[in-house]
Structure 1
């Protein structure tokens, strides 16, 4: 085995994903989410977490029936934000799915890396209300940590005794892929297990107002027509909450402990950053995808499905369609965007896409994109519509772009695809 820069013997096999914890608008639990995706059952509906009537955006994807009580220790419910509650519950589910007992593993060989977009938005809003409506001494001490982007990482680390390298990636929608990419780096430098992925919960007046400043949210009031990426009637996207956490393990360590199942392998990853508006250089998404494929030592022809970023803003959709066409050729690979069922989940969105891609690899089925009638004229992509498409799947590419220029690409392989790295 080669030796890493840290002096640790670096693994030569791609890390494996052994556990998934999904809390999404499409359902609490991996299989419930997957059934909704295959059925094209939308979770987009009127916001009920607060009264949305004063706002132009009134639709979103909400995690159905989620209550922190019973899923999160009572003291943490008071000390942390809903976003962290979702993350703690997702971590518990991922650990149970992986059938791993953290207490039986070396604590410094377990790490946590999550994605965060807005942090503890709702908690922060309530504390600001206390400040403005009352006085500084009304603001609780936990405001100092509950809003913080690393709060979920820290709480998961503490709760499960994962004392290896821990961190958070703040890259908006792209962050979930960046977190998984960082998990792979940690595996290469000695970690045996990494809890990674992301959740988000910014559906509150403060959070929605902040999101409205982008000018990219859909104000259409019909849930069936509000979020239509790649469609001629695309008019923006809808927000959502939730996400997914994944257990990523060193392949040999997973085999040594007798891992119950392997969903897939992390074969390649790359990130890029778009130049500022008005620059002569265009978006770099195509280059990012090619870099991820090169990192995986794969050709474009080896990719069997693309899970698209699918912003739903015509200009951004066109840029993504052109990038995919540039890399794969006209209609060269099936493209799907199940996020039309949930809305964009920001820090949790790309992680949920990765989890969904792993389920597609497991069941050899490309889920369809619910909502759009057809790809808009000029978009030369094979957008999977109408119903799922059973087909042989060995490799999936997940693409994500974050507000401000972040973009990332992740290459996932089937559980039996064992490439040396």
Structure 2
């Protein structure tokens, strides 16, 4: 069966721009969480976020694209450029329909949409941009990446919130197995504006703590909600044979993938996260004993953390595998979160080091997991990435060191 490998990474994260900048900051435990600056959040109960603060769009995006793109899409275009450059792929040299684009989304470019709606309400229809017809759309990242690089291969978008980045990579592997040489995949999100903020507050899952070092503490006794962030990762997924023929550097293989949906409340049936993880292991042809590290979903909500810890204990036994949540340095990035975790897992495999879960001194007593709170060197071959999206979505991905 055709093997799908990752040959390019493009990362835009609150604690680092570019793959190596992000990875260096992550291993050092440097957090990108802080008070919201993209809008005045003082009137809201939640005021902490992970913002990509050092990104200057004009340095990366052609002037003609600026009026028709949202902050989210600019980050996505930049990350896609970096992933292609990292992979050493010139899209002009590939078959016309040879490379596709499959990304994840949560709600689209809400910042762009909010601005245009404000113009409509306060000024009138004449002040609404013509680009509003598509710039807010949840599929806009896939579309703009495809147009920018003249890509006509299979394209799509997955809307499973935080689980979407893993789901997109699973679909990218499917296209590789169908014979397409390469797919740009992953997810980038940015919803730090009132329109993107209020729905998250309404979920009741957001942290209301104002100290950035205490606001997002997954698996901790003091867990009290999550902190949102923006950014994510775009990955270049490629056929292993094609990558080998051109001498590409390979970060690792997408070895296994599975997704499940939680049962309806009140049914008494268990959540679907454990089943997703077990199915991903089966898909990869390995057992729990072969997993060297788990990149946890890490909701930061006590009940959800407990459910994940129980799933991990059920699969691996008490303290049976190192578990980490480097998203404590970025926040939960909606559609970008799981893609960034997958990229981080590949970097961990490359360098033989598990990044830390910062600010959490230890897991709560009833969570019998080996939570990695300081960077830990380890021999790593297989990593499991777990992700859950609001609404009951579960996804699991196994990435393996290549060769």
Whether TM exceeds 0.5 here: the answer is yes
Q: Name the residue aligned to 1:325.
A: 313
Whether 2:110 is the aligned partner of 1:149: answer no
Cα deviation code 1:366-407 (max 9, x no counterpart): 11110111111111111111x211010000000000000011
2:26 to 14, 37, 61: 37
Task: Give the Cα–Cα distance (whole angstroms) in 2 for the partners of residues 83 and 291 of structure 1.
Answer: 32
Q: Name the residue aligned to 2:235.
A: 246
2:114 to 106, 109, 125: 125
Stretches of structure 2 that go unaligned for 5 or more consecutive residues are: none
Task: Give the Cα–Cα distance (whole angstroms) in 2 for the partners of residues 258 and 106 of structure 1.
Answer: 19
Stretches of structure 1 that go unaligned for 5 or more consecutive residues are: 1-11, 417-421
Task: Give the Cα–Cα distance (whole angstroms) in 2 for the partners of residues 77 and 306 of structure 1.
Answer: 39
Cα deviation code 1:75-124 (max 9, x no counterpart): 21111211110000000010111111111111201000000012011000
Cα offset, 1:139, TM superposition? 1.7
Whether 2:267 is the aligned partner of 1:256: answer no
Whether 2:3 is the aligned partner of 1:14: answer yes
Whether 2:328 is the aligned partner of 1:334: answer no
Cα deviation code 1:177-206 (max 9, x no counterpart): 000000000001121010000100100111
2:265 to 247, 262, 277: 277
The answer as to whether partners of 1:28 and 1:64 remain within 8 angstroms in 2 is no
The answer as to whether partners of 2:2 and 2:176 remain within 8 angstroms in 1 is no
Task: Give the Cα–Cα distance (whole angstroms) in 2 for the partners of residues 292 and 72 of structure 1.
Answer: 37
The answer as to whether partners of 1:46 and 1:58 remain within 8 angstroms in 2 is yes
The answer as to whether partners of 1:27 and 1:64 remain within 8 angstroms in 2 is no
Q: Name the residue aligned to 1:5.
A: none
Task: Give the Cα–Cα distance (whole angstroms) in 2 for the partners of residues 51 and 130 of structure 1.
Answer: 19
Q: Name the residue aligned to 1:409.
A: 396
Q: Name the residue aligned to 1:309.
A: 297
Cα offset, 1:242, TM superposition? 0.4
Cα deviation code 1:61-88 (max 9, x no counterpart): 0112112112112121111211110000
2:350 to 357, 362, 366: 362
Residue 270 of structure 1 aligns to a residue whose secondary structure is strand
Task: Give the Cα–Cα distance (whole angstroms) in 2 for the partners of residues 134 and 282 of structure 1.
Answer: 51
Cα offset, 1:290, TM superposition? 0.4
Cα offset, 1:137, TM superposition? 2.8
Runs of 4+ aligned structure 1 residues displaced above 6 Å come to none
> How many residue pairs get matched?
403
Give the RMSD, CA atoms, in angstroms: 0.8
Whether 2:312 is the aligned partner of 1:352: answer no
The answer as to whether partners of 2:2 and 2:177 remain within 8 angstroms in 1 is no
Task: Give the Cα–Cα distance (whole angstroms) in 1 for the partners of residues 306 and 96 of structure 2.
Answer: 46
Task: Give the Cα–Cα distance (whole angstroms) in 2 for the partners of residues 214 and 317 of structure 1.
Answer: 16
Q: Name the residue aligned to 2:164.
A: 175
Task: Give the Cα–Cα distance (whole angstroms) in 1 for the partners of residues 99 and 386 of structure 2.
Answer: 27
Task: Give the Cα–Cα distance (whole angstroms) in 1 for the partners of residues 366 and 45 of structure 2.
Answer: 30
Task: Give the Cα–Cα distance (whole angstroms) in 2 for the partners of residues 221 and 67 of structure 1.
Answer: 27
The answer as to whether partners of 1:174 and 1:347 remain within 8 angstroms in 2 is yes
Cα deviation code 1:126-177 (max 9, x no counterpart): 0110111122232222111011111110111111121110000010000000
Task: Give the Cα–Cα distance (whole angstroms) in 2 for the partners of residues 368 and 82 of structure 1.
Answer: 29
TM-score (norm 1): 0.95
Cα deviation code 1:269-289 (max 9, x no counterpart): 000001122221120111110
Q: Name the residue aligned to 1:79.
A: 68
Cα deviation code 1:256-300 (max 9, x no counterpart): 2221x1000000000000112222112011111000000001100
